[in-house]
């Protein structure tokens, strides 16, 4: 059987591809499980600095969940499906390595929710993004009702979820749902360009920065700033801090050891 999740290394950047192009890269339970295994392995791989997540082909990033597989599910089955997917999506969000979503087509339902878990979202100009679950008589269940309002605000998230309508890449950029929009043929090159730029930084500093962003933004401002101060202090105990400061003073490029 063809692998549903592919991992390709480009130096210290891992490109993870959802590989179900005939099904518009829709994610069934097996694919979600395979994605979780891939991300868990890459999270502890010393040769990986940054992860890019994308979909096979040009039509879809991930066009949603496997709707046919939902036909026989009752309430408890639906809840279990949501919890299983959420556990994997949480792995993506909390992965200590920066994760870039390269949205190369439809990112609908679970696909939009998967992109929301990533740290940075880049989109092809032809991409369409949405949470159309209400059209099936259900709601987003893989984190969409929680992450989307936190990213774009309650009003815009409510509009997307209540209407179930897709938005264009340009609109998504305007509301902060994606960081940048590129011509379709440029997307992966731009994603790799950004990944390489990030990979040059200290992994220790990247890891601590991500912890501060992901965990701190769920706290009130005072607690978040205190948490940031703790991590800031922790970064001062690293060899990378000494190297970074020395390189700056000596006007040279730092050679981080990630310790």
**Catalytic positions, please?**
113, 133
Contact of 116 with 148, CB cutoff 8 Å? yes
Instruction: Give the SS3 label for residue 11.
Output: coil
Q: Which residue carries 């005072």 as its tokens?
A: 222
Task: Name the 3-class secondary structure at 45.
Answer: coil
Distance set, CA 96 to CA 17, 67, 169, 177, 212 (Å) = 19, 31, 27, 22, 11
Secondary structure percentages of the chain, helix, strand, coil, to 5: 50, 15, 30
Which residue, 147, 259, 150, is CA-closest to 207?
A: 259
| Location of structure tokens 């993506």 | 92
Contact 24, 60 (CB under 8 A): yes
DSSP string, 157-217: HHHHHHH---EEHHHHHHTTSSSEEE-GGGHHHHHHHHHHHHHTS-HHHHHHHHHHHHHHT
Extract the tokens encoding 160: 């997307």
Q: Which tokens in the block code for residue 10? A: 């480009």
């Amino acid at each position: 059987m063809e692998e549903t999740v592919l991992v390709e290394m480009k130096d210290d950047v891992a490109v993870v591809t959802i590989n179900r192009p005939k099904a518009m890269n829709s994610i069934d339970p097996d694919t979600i499980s395979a994605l979780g295994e891939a991300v868990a392995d890459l999270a502890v791989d010393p040769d990986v600095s940054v992860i890019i997540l994308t979909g096979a082909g040009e039509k879809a990033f991930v066009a949603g969940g496997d709707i046919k597989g939902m036909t026989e599910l009752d309430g408890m089955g639906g809840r279990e499906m949501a919890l299983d997917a959420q556990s994997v999506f949480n792995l993506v969000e909390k992965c200590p390595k920066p994760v870039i979503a390269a949205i190369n087509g439809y990112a609908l339902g679970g696909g939009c929710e998967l992109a929301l878990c990533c740290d940075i979202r880049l989109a092809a100009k032809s991409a369409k993004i949405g949470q159309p679950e209400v059209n099936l008589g259900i709601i987003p269940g893989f984190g969409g009702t929680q992450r989307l309002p936190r990213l774009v605000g309650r009003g815009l998230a409510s509009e997307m979820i209540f209407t179930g309508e897709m938005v264009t890449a340009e609109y998504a950029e305007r509301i902060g749902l994606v960081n940048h929009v590129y011509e379709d043929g440029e997307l992966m090159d731009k994603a790799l360009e950004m990944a390489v730029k990030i990979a040059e930084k200290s992994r220790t500093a990247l890891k601590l920065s991500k912890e501060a962003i992901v965990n701190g933004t769920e706290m009130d401002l005072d607690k978040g700033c205190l948490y940031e101060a703790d991590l800031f202090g922790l970064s001062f105990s690293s060899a990378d801090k000494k190297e970074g400061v020395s390189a700056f003073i000596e006007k040279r490029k730092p050679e981080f050891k990630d310790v």
